[in-house]
A = this chain, B = another copy of it.
Amino acid sequence: MTAFIEVDYRFPAGVDARSQAQAIAIGQTAGSWDAHFQHREAQLRGHLGKVAAITELADGCHQATVRFPAANVDGRLGSLLTMIFGKYSLAGPAKVTAIRLPEHFGRLPRFGLEGIRARLGVQERPLVMAIFKPALGLTAGDHAEILAKVAVAGLDIIKDDEILPDLPMAAALARWEACAPVIEARRDQTGRDLLYAVNLSGDARQVQTLALQLVAAGANALLLNVLAYGFPVLEALVADPDIDVPIFAHPSLAGAWCGAPDYGFSYGALLGTLMAYGGADAVLYPAQYGSLPFAAADEWAIVEALRARGVAPVPSSGVHPGMVGRILDDYGAEVILNAGTGIMDHPQGPASGVLAFREAIERWQNAAPRALEDLPAGPLRAAVEKWGQG
C-alpha cells in the first residue's frame, strides 16, 4: 500500500493557487522528462505529487492540498522539508499551514508526558517547570544554589535558559555535576525525582557527544533549540539508545519560520506536527495568556498535534501563578506549566514562586475561588498581588 504525505499550502489573494499547486506537485518531485526516459516512465510517474484539492478561503486566499508519495523521502524531516517547501519556498508568497504524515513516519517520543510523569513519580496533577535566571553570567555553583531553593519547594522540572550554551564559565557538564547532588538529596528525602533539562550546543557532532557525556554523568533531561540546530539533530538524539532521557524542545527561532502571514509555516505545523514527528518528548511554545503575542488558534493547533502523539505541551513565556487557573481550565491537568521570572522573581523568592504554582494548582483541583480577595495570605496571594490574575 502506498503511503502519502499531504500538505496544505495557503496562497494570498491574487496568486493562481491551482497552477502553483501543480508546480509544487511536479517541480518538487520527479519534475518533467522527455522521450529519453520513456523506459522509466512508470517509475518516474510513481514519484509525482498530485493536487488533491483547491479551496477558496474567506479572505480571497486559496488553500491547495498536495499529496506526495511518502516513498519520495527517507522518513526523516530534512528530506521532508526539502520536498514540501525546499526550492518552492523561493517561488513567492505561500505558507505551509498543515502537514499530514503517515502514522509510522518519523519518530515517536520515547517518553512524552506519560514517560516524564513516570520518571518523576507524579501522576494526575499538572507539572511545574522553572527556568534558571539570569540566563548568562552565573557559575555552575550559582545554578546549584538556585536549584536548592526551588527543589525543596516541590518543583518537578528545571531547564537552562535557551541562550546559555556550553561556555567555560558554566560548562554544561559542570552545571549538571553541581546540580546533581541537590537532585539526589531531594530524592533521598522525598522519594521524588526532579528533571533538569540541560541545554545542548555546538556543531551537530558536538551536540551528540555532549548529550552522551551528560547522560553518562547522570543527567536526566536535555534541552534543544530544535529550529536553530535542525530537526535532524533532534532526530539523531532520539535515535541514540544511549541518550535515554526526555528531550525538551525549545521554540527559539520559530517566529522567523512562522511569524509572517504569507510565508513559511504555520505554528501548528512547525511546533506541533514536525516536533511531534521528530521525536521531542515535550515542546515549549508561547502561551496565548503570556507575554508574547500569540494567537489562541496557533496554540491549540500545536497542542492538538503534540497530544496526538503523546508529546507534553509546555505553554511558556510570561506564565505566572495568577494565570494558572485559566490555563488549567483550558488544558486540564495534562500539561507542564513553565515559568522563568514567574517563579524566580516571586517577591518572596524562588521557593515561594514554586509554592505559589502548587497552591494555584491545588485550588484549581479543588475548584476553590480564585479572586484576590478569596486567597489566603501566602505565596499565591503575594504572586497575584505582584502579577495580577492574567
Residues of A near any B CB (own CB < 8 A): 28-34, 37, 40, 43-47, 71-74, 76-79, 81-83, 85-93, 96, 133-139, 142, 161-163, 165-167, 169, 201-208, 225, 228-233, 235-236, 239-240, 250-257, 259-265, 286, 292-294, 317, 345
Q: Does B137 contact A253, Cβ atoms closer than 8 Å?
A: no
Q: Does B230 contact A229, Cβ atoms closer than 8 Å?
A: yes
Given contacts A76-B203, A137-B46, A162-B86, contact A293 B91 (CB under 8 A): yes
B residues less than 8 Å from A167 (CB atoms):
71-72, 74
Partner of A86, one of B91, B163, B207: B163
Q: Does A202 contact B76, Cβ atoms closer than 8 Å?
A: yes
Question: In the complex, what distance in Å separates the CA atom of A204 from the CA atom of B43?
Answer: 29
Question: In the complex, what distance in Å separates the CA atom of A165 from the CA atom of B74?
Answer: 6
Q: Does B201 contact A142, Cβ atoms closer than 8 Å?
A: no
Q: Does A47 contact B260, Cβ atoms closer than 8 Å?
A: no
Given contacts A165-B73, A232-B229, A239-B203, contact A135 B259 (CB under 8 A): no
Partner of A233, one of B32, B81, B91, B232: B232
Question: In the complex, what distance in Å separates the CA atom of A91 from the CA atom of B251?
Answer: 12
Question: In the complex, what distance in Å separates the CA atom of A167 from the CA atom of B29?
Answer: 13
Given contacts A228-B82, A259-B260, contact A89 B204 (CB under 8 A): no
Partner of A166, one of B74, B85, B134, B230: B74
Q: Does A204 contact B233, Cβ atoms closer than 8 Å?
A: yes
Question: In the complex, what distance in Å separates the CA atom of A292 from the CA atom of B91?
Answer: 6
Question: In the complex, what distance in Å separates the CA atom of A286 from the CA atom of B204?
Answer: 27
Chain B CB count within 10 A is highest, among A31, A135, A201, A228, for A228
Nearest-neighbour CB distance to chain B for A211, whole angstroms, equals: 11
Q: Does A78 contact B239, Cβ atoms closer than 8 Å?
A: no
B residues less than 8 Å from A208 (CB atoms):
204-205
Q: Does A134 contact B263, Cβ atoms closer than 8 Å?
A: no
A sample of 24 cross-chain residue pairs with beta-carbon separation below 8 angstroms, ordered by A number, consists of: A31-B134, A37-B134, A72-B136, A74-B166, A76-B165, A76-B201, A78-B202, A81-B252, A82-B163, A82-B225, A85-B253, A86-B163, A87-B162, A87-B163, A87-B292, A87-B317, A88-B255, A90-B317, A204-B236, A229-B230, A230-B230, A256-B257, A260-B264, A263-B263
Question: In the complex, what distance in Å separates the CA atom of A362 from the CA atom of B136?
Answer: 57
Given contacts A29-B163, A256-B85, contact A228 B90 (CB under 8 A): no
Q: Does B163 contact A89, Cβ atoms closer than 8 Å?
A: no
Question: In the complex, what distance in Å separates the CA atom of A42 from the CA atom of B345?
Answer: 20
Q: Does B133 contact A90, Cβ atoms closer than 8 Å?
A: no
| Other 8 A-B pairs with CB < 8 A, given A88-B255, A90-B286 | A30-B137, A33-B134, A76-B201, A78-B201, A85-B253, A85-B256, A230-B232, A257-B257
Question: In the complex, what distance in Å separates the CA atom of A279 from the CA atom of B83?
Answer: 24
B residues less than 8 Å from A264 (CB atoms):
256-257, 259-260, 263-264
Question: In the complex, what distance in Å separates the CA atom of A89 from the CA atom of B267?
Answer: 13
Nearest-neighbour CB distance to chain B for A220, whole angstroms, equals: 22
Question: In the complex, what distance in Å separates the CA atom of A23 from the CA atom of B186?
Answer: 37
